[in-house]
């Protein structure tokens, strides 16, 4: 089970979650409307495209990328991606 933890939370900015996978960091953040963005970094360098998906497609896309089920910690405002 891949559990994304809240990495950054500020009421003026989008909440960010992260998960370490094979030495890389997979980042997820809210975007505009009902879209979410995810990307993968290594040592601070972007190693994948920044991909925008709907909330309903996010969990499936991450499970395909990581190869296991994913869960998200809930932010202090009650926000987390739902499948």
Residues 15-74: tens digit of each pLDDT = 899 999 999 999 999 887 778 999 999 988 999 999 999 988 999 999 999 999 999 999
Structure token digits, residue 74? 């809930």
What pLDDT does 28 receive?
95
Cβ neighbourhood burial of 26 (10 Å; 0-12, 13-18, 19+): buried
What pLDDT does 83 receive?
54
List 46's β-bridge partners, or say none.
41
What pLDDT does 77 receive?
80
Residues 67-76: tens digit of each pLDDT = 999 999 998 8
pTM of the model: 0.86
Structure token digits, residue 37? 């963005």
What pLDDT does 12 receive?
65
């Amino acid at each position: 089970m891949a559990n994304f933890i809240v990495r950054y939370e500020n009421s003026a900015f989008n909440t960010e979650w992260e998960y370490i996978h094979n030495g890389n960091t997979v980042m997820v953040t809210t975007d505009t409307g009902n879209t979410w963005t995810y990307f993968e970094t290594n040592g601070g360098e972007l190693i994948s495209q920044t991909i925008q998906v709907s909330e309903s497609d996010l969990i499936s896309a991450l499970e395909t990328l990581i190869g296991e089920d994913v869960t998200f910690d809930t932010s202090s405002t009650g926000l987390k991606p739902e499948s």
